[in-house]
Amino acid sequence: MSAPVLEVRDIAKRFGGLAALDGASLALQAGRVTGLIGPNGAGKTTLLNVMTGLVRPDAGQVLLSGQDVTGLATHRYAALGVARTFQIVRELGSLTVLENLLLAPRRQSGEGVATGLFARPKWWREERANAAKARELLERIGLWKLADQPSAGLSGGQKKLLDLARALLLEPKLILLDEPGAGVSPPVKQELIRLIRELKAEGVSFGLIEHDMHLIGELCDEVHVMAEGRNLVSGTFREVIADRRVVEAYLGVAA
């Protein structure tokens, strides 16, 4: 098998006296949806933050397609093809829905002082091309009619969809979703499942943190269970939920 899209090895991270991660390892294979579950406080979000450069690990390695990227600045991860969404939706509220999407594409030539002023024809061409892509995506997720609205006015579910669409415009190899189903109405959840399946068919890899077992069961090819900052069990969804240690981690060990 070729190198995983993203791999973390023996990651440790302490916040003061709390060991959030303590030797966690994980590999996300290309073209698959990998689930990450575990009880609250297991270190799932911290691991996701390590995988996207938001948190620098105390020990361990992060490998992107086999290349060591541990400790790179956050924005470099996105440039290397890793996109993410956030658990609590963090929309760029004063930007319109369309602007949220136009922001995302990589290597925009109008993002410097001199080029912003003097390379107008060039970045306007890019802007139009990006807008066409944004339109396609917004139509796909049903937000096109809201394109000119400030994104602060969207509902929780719509913000989640916008977050995902924004990540897609990065044209990433891998998208890491932090609880995409939390606080989302059932129809929007169906919409999410459909979208992730379509994108997987198009060759995008996913990492998925979720508490909604229905969503995990529907989407994931492989599931990793974390507890207390470490891997507990890995396998298919069926194998994992049948495992006694997983039940114990969630419910506590019977004395």
Partner 1 sequence: MTAYLVTVAILVCEAALIGLALNFQWGLAGLVNFGVVGFVAIGAYVTALLAPELGWLPAMAAAGAISAALSTGLALLSIRLEENYLAIVTIGFGEIVRLVILNEEWLTQGALGIADIPRPFAALGEAFGGDLVFIAFTGALLAIVFLGLEGLARSPFGRALRAIRDDATVTAALGKPVFALRVRAFAVGGAVMGIAGALHAFYLRYIDPSQFTPIVTAYAFMAVIAGGRGSNVGLLLGAGSIMALLEGTRFLKDFISAIDGVQLSALRLGLIGVGIVLLLILRPQGLVPEPRRRVADVLPGGRD
Q: Does 69 bind partner 1 (CB under 8 A)?
A: no
**What residues have CB less than 8 Å from 243, skipping those under 6 apart?**
225, 233, 235
Please tell me what DSSP assigns to residue 65: T
Choose one: 30-38, 63-71, 111-119, 230-238; the region binding partner 1 (CB under 8 A). Answer: 111-119
Instruction: Kindly state the smallest distance separating residue 249's Cβ from partner 1, in Å.
Output: 29
Instruction: Kindly state the smallest distance separating residue 53's Cβ from partner 1, in Å.
Output: 8
Applying the rule CB under 8 A, the residues between 146 and 165 that interact with partner 1 are: 147-148
Task: Identify the sign of the CA torsion 194, 195, 199, 202.
Answer: positive
53 SS3 class: coil
Residue 31's identity, in one-letter code, is G
d(CA 139, CA 22): 43
Q: Does 214 bind partner 1 (CB under 8 A)?
A: no
Burial of 23 (C-beta count, 10 Å sphere; 0-12/13-18/19+)? middle
Q: Does 83 bind partner 1 (CB under 8 A)?
A: yes
**What residues have CB less than 8 Å from 246, skipping those under 6 apart?**
225, 232, 233, 240
Q: Does 1 bind partner 1 (CB under 8 A)?
A: no
Contact 146, 157 (CB under 8 A): no
Q: Which of 123, 182, 211, 217 binds partner 1 (CB under 8 A)?
A: 123
Q: Which of 23, 39, 60, 110 binds partner 1 (CB under 8 A)?
A: 110
Instruction: Kindly state the smallest distance separating residue 116's Cβ from partner 1, in Å.
Output: 4
Choose one: 10-18, 98-106, 182-190, 235-243; the region binding partner 1 (CB under 8 A). Answer: 98-106
The residue among 113 and 201 lying less far from partner 1, judged by its C-beta, is 113
Closest to 81 measured CA to CA, from 27, 5, 2, 195: 5
φ/ψ of residue 138, rounded to 5: -65, -35
Q: Which of 79, 88, 242, 247 binds partner 1 (CB under 8 A)?
A: 79
Q: Does 96 bind partner 1 (CB under 8 A)?
A: yes
Q: Does 75 bind partner 1 (CB under 8 A)?
A: yes
Q: Which of 28, 98, 161, 223 binds partner 1 (CB under 8 A)?
A: 98
Choose one: 110-118, 189-197, 221-229, 236-244; the region binding partner 1 (CB under 8 A). Answer: 110-118
